[in-house]
Structure 1
Amino acid sequence: MERVPILKIGGVLLVSIQIDLHDQSVLALQEDLAERISATGAHGVVIDISAVEIVDSFIGRMFATIASISRLFDADTVVVGMRPAVAITLVELGLTLGGVRTALDLERGMRILRVLGQESGRIPAGDPTGLEWS
């Protein structure tokens, strides 16, 4: 089974989904991400789904579950790069992705996490990049 890589950039974990997601890979991602947040103390998670073309209800719920897991570890989650067809499918499936923030691209997602981190005091106000926070 192929695993989704999780990269650490400052206080943010970047999950770039470049493989076809199946139930087993989604479950492995949830477990891997929880372990990485716990081990690194990351305060933000960006899930880049720009390569994802098709979602089903299980994968859609996975985004909400990951956001919930992240919140338990005091980390915010932003999903970036959602294609129009994926957004339409999620709406048609009735999935609201409660608690999941979205952004059009990685840059905007990082900006959202930086603002949230500064508001919560996890990122120093003088750090314009948000990369020095831990």
Structure 2
Amino acid sequence: MAVRVPILQQNRRLIASIQEDLSDQEILDLQSRLLDMVVTKGVTGVIIDVSAVDVLDSFSSRTLSEIAGGVYLRGAKLVLVGIQPEVAMALVLLGLTLKDVETALDLDRGMALLDRSGA
């Protein structure tokens, strides 16, 4: 299977940019890759950029929340950036608030959030 989500490393941080809607298997692949890289690369912070995503379904939302929990349990911090207003409203209407996931408006603010937390 081709890698659909590039993961870039910047010092001790990872940046994953989701550029299109992903299948359930692709988001699970992203989860596995990120959690493995947190340990093998000594990562302290992870940013997942969803600014190009028009729709987050319940499975993707739940999996993003699980990724955040897994990253935390492996000693790093995750920030989800770039949630579009329409996506945010749809998530709220569906009762999917991602309450345990830190968010920021864009990549710069996500990086600043990681800076402030020491990640």
Describe the superposition over 1:21-71 as per-residue Cα deviations: whole angstroms up to 9, x where unpaired. Answer: 110101100001011111111110000001000111001111111100100
Q: Give me the identity figure in percent.
A: 48
Shift of 1:93: 1.4
After TM superposition, the score normalised by the length of structure 1 is 0.84
Look up the match of 2:96.
Answer: 95
Higher-Rg structure is 1
| Count of residues paired in the alignment | 118
Alignment of 1:1-134 (within 5 A): 1-3=1-3, 4-117=5-118
Runs of 4+ deviating beyond 3 Å: none
Gaps of 5+ in 2: none
SS at match of 1:18: coil
SS at match of 2:98: coil
SS at match of 1:66: helix
Gaps of 5+ in 1: 123-134
Distance between the aligned counterparts of 2:10 and 2:100, measured in 1? Answer: 23
Describe the superposition over 1:52-97 as per-residue Cα deviations: whole angstroms up to 9, x where unpaired. Answer: 0011100111111110010011111111111001101111111121
Assess if the C-alpha contact under 8 Å between 1:79 and 1:102 holds in 2: yes
RMSD over aligned Cα atoms: 1.1
